[in-house]
């Protein structure tokens, strides 16, 4: 599913590389927490998966493809098999909930009939059945994140990448979002979630990958957030 | 590709930047009108050149009675039959001469009356004021000075005139105007292109949320860029149409209704020439902004 072979990434004008010699493998259907303090390389790790950046050294394989050899025009095709969720939801404020989800299908050219069927289905799945015509501004933070997850999942991706999806939410709402991600994971979708939320990581008992100053310092199945925290 | 989605995006984009769009349309229209105008001016010049150069290369004007009275090169009196025969024979023997036509005073009078029939001066001219002349075509028009040196000093010859020498300043002026129009057009074009690039940047920036999401969900870069490119193309096409309207108005009001009435001797270009330029103006109006937009997006909207 995902394989990093001795991956390093340095940005121009920065002395310290963002990632240093990271090697790991993630199997299909896994649920993985990516933890580490700010600047530890979590974001770079996710950006490499999305092919927003290319590795400076080493190889990143996602869904069986070597991303360093993937030509630019094939990147969109690759991204259609990934779903992404962010801390700040990234919804379009002038479109309704339904339109926001449909947008993801429209811009990759899906036929209208298919969109009309898929959107209510996925909204039902994330627990927003019947809220299709609401505007994002009328919804709570938790509900907005559910819309974002619906948008990421509507195309049934093989891999869901979540960058601190609960970062803006209170603990109770976060639990709801985690249950939803867990449910999505159980459909066979691999989930990779970067987080600072100790409580969630400790509760879920999933695989934990910890980065520190760009190095992989811990890879533990059924792990907790950290020893020293 | 869903046309409805793209079309609505274009509409939103054009409305959002209404003032910028307006500026793009006007500057594209002006530069294209100048472009079309200079093409037409060039055609006018070349058609005039063809018309005049075809008529005669060099003319030898012979002395008549009234010229003889005013002295100068004709002080020895009007041309005699002897002299005329000699000139004709000499011309026929010169191998640089392609063709010689003799124009009698009556012919000259007739042509003059035809050409200036509307002008009041036509009535005041009498046949004996007109000059006989030889109209000579040269194999190589640049060798007119051979004719000049051979015949200018002969008795009975009033003047050797190279028609090109007479017309050249006029054509130079028209060509100069053409270059001026092209220069202004180039400047307007730079203004138009800069505006387009800027408009597209602003447009892309104001929609970065949408384009960011499109990138994430795997929309192709073509799909992401096409609304911006079409936006520029639509504005450019509107500018092109405006330029066409300007050219048509120019032909109707300036050339047909004004110049043609005031200047008789010139055959002005007609509707055919104007209409044949319009598709080109429209095509440039459509493609140039689209390419500018594409170039502007090249860096801005990478995958």
Q: Do A92 and B215 touch (CB under 8 A)?
A: no
For B6, the token pair is 């793209």
CATH number (domain holding residue B119): 3.30.70.3040
Q: Do B219 and A108 touch (CB under 8 A)?
A: yes
Task: Show residues of chain B in contact with A92, CB under 8 Å.
Answer: 209-210, 213
> Can you give the residue range of the structural domain that contains B64?
56-163
Taking the model in full, what pTM does it have?
A: 0.72
Residue B82 pLDDT exceeds 90: no
CA pair distance A202, A208, nearest whole angstrom: 10
CA pair distance B170, B237, nearest whole angstrom: 36
Predicted local confidence at residue B100, as pLDDT: 86
CA pair distance B15, B6, nearest whole angstrom: 14
Both B279 and B263 in one domain: the answer is yes
- pLDDT digit of tens for each residue in chain A (229 aa)? 899 999 999 999 888 899 999 999 999 999 999 999 988 999 999 999 999 999 999 999 999 899 989 998 899 999 999 999 999 999 999 999 999 999 999 888 899 999 999 999 999 999 999 999 999 999 999 999 999 999 999 999 999 999 999 999 999 999 999 999 999 999 999 999 999 999 999 999 999 999 999 999 999 988 888 755 4
Domain boundary pick from B146, B163, B180: B163
Both B141 and B232 in one domain: the answer is no
Phi, psi of B292 (to 5 degrees): -60, -40
Q: Is B3 on the interface with A (CB under 8 A)?
A: no
Instruction: Note whether B282 and B290 are within 8 A (CB).
Output: no
Mean pLDDT of B114-140: 75
Both B181 and B44 in one domain: the answer is yes
Task: Show residues of chain A in contact with B210, CB under 8 Å.
Answer: 92, 103
Evaluated on CA atoms A193, A198, A202, A207, the torsion sign reads positive
**Residue B87 in 3-state DSSP?**
helix
Domain boundary pick from B163, B194, B212: B163
Count interface pairs A-B at CB distance under 8 A: 57
Q: Do A112 and B2 touch (CB under 8 A)?
A: yes
Q: Do A106 and B224 touch (CB under 8 A)?
A: no
Report the residue of chain B nearest A161, measured CA to CA. Answer: B216
Of the two residues B124 and A111, the one the predictor is more confident about is A111
Both B154 and B214 in one domain: the answer is no
* pLDDT band, residue B257 (cuts 50/70/90): confident
Residue of A182, A75, A96 lying closest to A143 (CA atoms)? A96
Q: Do A103 and B213 touch (CB under 8 A)?
A: yes
Residue of A177, A210, A175 lying closest to A196 (CA atoms)? A210
For A229, the token pair is 């925290």
Domain boundary pick from B113, B133, B163: B163
Question: What is the overall mean pLDDT for chain B?
Answer: 83
For B58, the token pair is 């060099």
Interface test with B, best of A53, A78, A107, A116 (most B CBs within 10 A): A107
Q: Which residue of A77, A92, A107 is in closest CB contact with B223?
A: A107
Both B37 and B181 in one domain: the answer is yes
For B213, the token pair is 């999401």
CA pair distance B221, B241, nearest whole angstrom: 30
* pLDDT band, residue B205 (cuts 50/70/90): confident
Of the two residues A178 and B155, the one the predictor is more confident about is A178
Predicted local confidence at residue B69, as pLDDT: 74
Residue of A173, A101, A119 lying closest to A143 (CA atoms)? A173
Both B175 and B289 in one domain: the answer is yes
ipTM for the predicted complex: 0.87
Both B81 and B158 in one domain: the answer is yes
Number of folded domains that form chain B: 2
Task: Show residues of chain B in contact with A106, CB under 8 Å.
Answer: 2, 5
Q: Do A80 and B303 touch (CB under 8 A)?
A: no
Q: Do A109 and B215 touch (CB under 8 A)?
A: no
């Amino acid at each position: 599913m995902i394989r990093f072979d001795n991956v390093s990434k340095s940005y121009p004008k920065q002395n310290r590389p963002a990632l240093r010699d990271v090697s790991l493998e993630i199997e299909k259907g896994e649920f993985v927490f990516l933890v580490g303090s700010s600047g530890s390389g979590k974001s770079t790790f996710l950006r490499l998966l999305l092919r927003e950046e290319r590795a400076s050294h080493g190889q990143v394989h996602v869904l069986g493809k070597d991303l360093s050899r993937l030509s630019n025009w094939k990147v969109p095709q690759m991204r259609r098999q990934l779903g992404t969720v962010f801390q700040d939801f990234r919804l379009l404020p002038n479109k309704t909930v339904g339109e926001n989800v449909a947008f993801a299908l429209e811009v990759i050219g899906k036929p209208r009939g298919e969109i009309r069927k898929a959107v209510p289905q996925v909204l039902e799945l994330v627990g927003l059945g019947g809220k299709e015509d609401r505007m994002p501004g009328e919804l709570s933070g938790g509900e907005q994140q559910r819309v974002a997850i619906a948008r990421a999942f509507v195309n049934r991706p093989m891999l869901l990448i979540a960058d601190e999806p609960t970062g803006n939410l209170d603990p109770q709402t976060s639990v709801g979002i985690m249950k939803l991600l867990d449910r999505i994971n159980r459909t066979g979708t691999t989930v990779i979630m970067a987080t600072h939320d100790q409580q969630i990581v400790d509760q879920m008992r999933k695989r934990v990958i910890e980065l520190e100053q760009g190095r992989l310092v811990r890879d533990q199945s059924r792990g907790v957030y950290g020893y020293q925290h | 590709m869903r046309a409805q989605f793209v079309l609505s995006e274009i509409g939103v984009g054009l409305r959002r930047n209404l003032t910028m769009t307006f500026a793009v349309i006007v500057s594209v229209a002006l530069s294209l009108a100048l472009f079309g105008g200079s093409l037409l001016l060039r055609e006018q010049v070349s058609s005039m050149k063809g018309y005049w150069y075809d008529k005669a290369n060099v003319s030898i004007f012979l002395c008549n009675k009234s010229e003889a009275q005013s002295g100068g090169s004709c002080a020895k009196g009007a041309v005699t039959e002897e002299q005329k025969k000699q000139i004709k024979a000499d011309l026929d023997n010169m191998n640089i001469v392609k063709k010689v036509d003799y124009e009698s005073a009556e012919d000259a009078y007739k042509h003059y009356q035809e050409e200036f029939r509307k002008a009041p001066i036509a009535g005041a001219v009498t046949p004996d004021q007109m000059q006989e002349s030889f109209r000579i075509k040269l194999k190589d028009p640049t060798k007119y000075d051979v004719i000049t040196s051979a015949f200018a000093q002969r008795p009975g010859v009033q003047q050797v005139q190279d028609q090109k020498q007479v017309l050249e300043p006029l054509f130079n002026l028209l060509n100069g105007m053409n270059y001026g129009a092209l220069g202004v057009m180039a400047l307007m074009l730079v203004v138009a292109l800069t505006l387009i690039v800027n408009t597209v940047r602003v447009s892309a920036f104001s929609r970065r949320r949408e384009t960011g999401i499109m990138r994430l969900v795997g929309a192709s870069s073509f799909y992401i860029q096409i609304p911006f490119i079409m936006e520029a193309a639509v504005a450019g096409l509107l500018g092109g149409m405006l330029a066409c309207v300007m050219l048509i108005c120019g032909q109707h009001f300036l050339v047909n209704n004004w110049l043609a009435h005031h200047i008789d001797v010139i055959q002005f270009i007609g509707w055919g020439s104007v209409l044949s330029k319009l598709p080109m103006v429209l095509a440039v109006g459509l493609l140039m902004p689209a390419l500018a937009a594409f170039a502007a997006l090249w860096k801005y909207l990478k995958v």
